[in-house]
Amino acid sequence: MIFDTYYVLIALSVLVIISYFFNIIADRLKIPSVILLIVSGILFKIGADFIQFDFPVSRTVLEILGVMGLILIVLEGSLDLKITTDKRQIIKRSLLAATLMLFSTTVAIALILGYTLDMSFKQSLPYAVAMGVISSAIAIPSVNKLEPNKKDFIIYESSFSDIIGIMLFNYVISEELLSILTVGTFFGNLALISLISVVCTVLVLLLFKYLKGHIKVFLILSILILVYSLSKQLHLPSLFFILVFGLVLNNAEPYLQGWLKKYLQPEKLLEVNIELKTMTAELAFLIRTFFFLLFGFSIDISLIVLEPVMLTGSLVILMILIIRYLFLRFISKTNIFPELFIAPRGLITIILFYSIPSHLTTDKFNEGVLSFVILGSGLIMMFGLIFSKKNVNSENELESEHVL
């Protein structure tokens, strides 16, 4: 089908404007904008089917947009985080939460898939990891209005969940899960990406000294994407590099003393940091808009309403909430509300699902389960945030009455 150039431009512009208004609605009502985008994509699909308009969504395009969005959103989140002495506890708590809940949830989901879909444990593990990872692409933009400690916890937890999830996924798709070689490779990759992250971050920071003119941000983003992609080809947890880079750039200035101040130039870092924050936020918004609209457009509603899909998806979501409640309540001993409900599945889930090797895919798994879990977990987060807002407003009113 041949599309008129100006009709395409009009459509793209309208979609961006709609997404902007969704952000306004999200800020006011605490409805995650990505949920509105997915639902809009589904409605567009229903409308297209009604008028018999065929617009095939390329899996490759979705995957490219997904990877770009993941990089930008994690970078955007890390550029907002300040590492101070009082936040070390939050970092430790969020890392522990992300690790233990991911492993526990993955095993539980694998057992559910084995029970409901008659899949072997090894066969179900890649699917379980994909659905066990919290989506930072949905979680991070949705917590802007939370108090700082809660917001930082969610940003760190979802980012760590993405990073550890990618590492775990690469592990479970290996030939031998419990061999010494595989376990050694797992921890070796972690050590290697840590070294690469430190070296590349320092080199990029040194590059700032020699950057002239206004073309800086896209050069930096290109370097980050290049290192991320090369690391990914080596099956390394490349998202860790993006997180480290953002954290270092946003927290380096107080430590630049003596010879470090001469070579790294704090004023340059501050200038690039401000520019990178602005550009990253704009690009993340643009890519998130088209990714989730296309994802919603690609969802087959007829698959979601099947009884086995609804049963499996409901059990998966229920298990996610149970494990999250038990961990937050008894192990982490942290706030439960609204953190309990902020465990959406989304962009990273789709990327990992598309990355499952052909020899591990099976017809027993219905793709509708994935869509059901993504939509269900997103809606639960939405209602959790809305109720949280009402709860906070009620508490404020009571405090005001008490003062009067």
Q: What is the pLDDT of residue 394?
A: 44
**Which H or E run includes 205?**
helix 180-207
CATH of domain 5-403: 1.20.1530.20
pLDDT of res. 393: 47
Judge whether 175 and 110 are in contact, CB under 8 Å: no
- pLDDT confidence of residue 223: 86
Residue pair 368/307 in contact (Cβ under 8 Å)? The answer is no
- What is the reported pLDDT for 151? 84
Number of neighbours of residue 93 by Cβ within 10 angstroms: 18
Identify which of 220, 200, 199 has the alpha carbon closest to the alpha carbon of residue 272: 220
Q: Which of 237, 250, 256 is nearest to 196 (CA)?
A: 237
**pTM given for the model:** 0.81
Quick one: pLDDT at residue 178?
57
Q: How does 389-399 read in b/e, with b if 16+ C-beta sit within 10 Å?
A: beeeeeeeeee
Position 390 scores a pLDDT of 55
Q: Residue 193's pLDDT is what?
A: 78
* DSSP sequence for 118-157: ---HHHHHHHHHHHHS--HHHHHHH-TTS-HHHHHHHHHH
Going by C-alpha positions, the residue among 217, 365, 213 that lies closest to residue 279 is 217
The alpha-carbon radius of gyration of the chain (Å, integer) is: 22
The pLDDT score that the predictor gives to residue 386 is 80
Quote the pLDDT of residue 313: 94
pLDDT of 133 reads 93
Low-confidence ranges of the chain (pLDDT < 70): 1-3, 30, 175-183, 186, 211-215, 253-266, 332-335, 389-404
Question: What is the CB neighbour count within 10 angstroms for residue 300?
Answer: 13
Q: What is the pLDDT of residues 222-235, one digit of tens each?
A: 888 898 888 878 77
Q: What is the pLDDT of residues 369-382, one digit of tens each?
A: 999 999 999 889 88
Q: What distance in Å separates the CA atoms of residue 31 and residue 389, rounded to the nearest whole number?
A: 11
CB 312 within 8 A of CB 113: yes
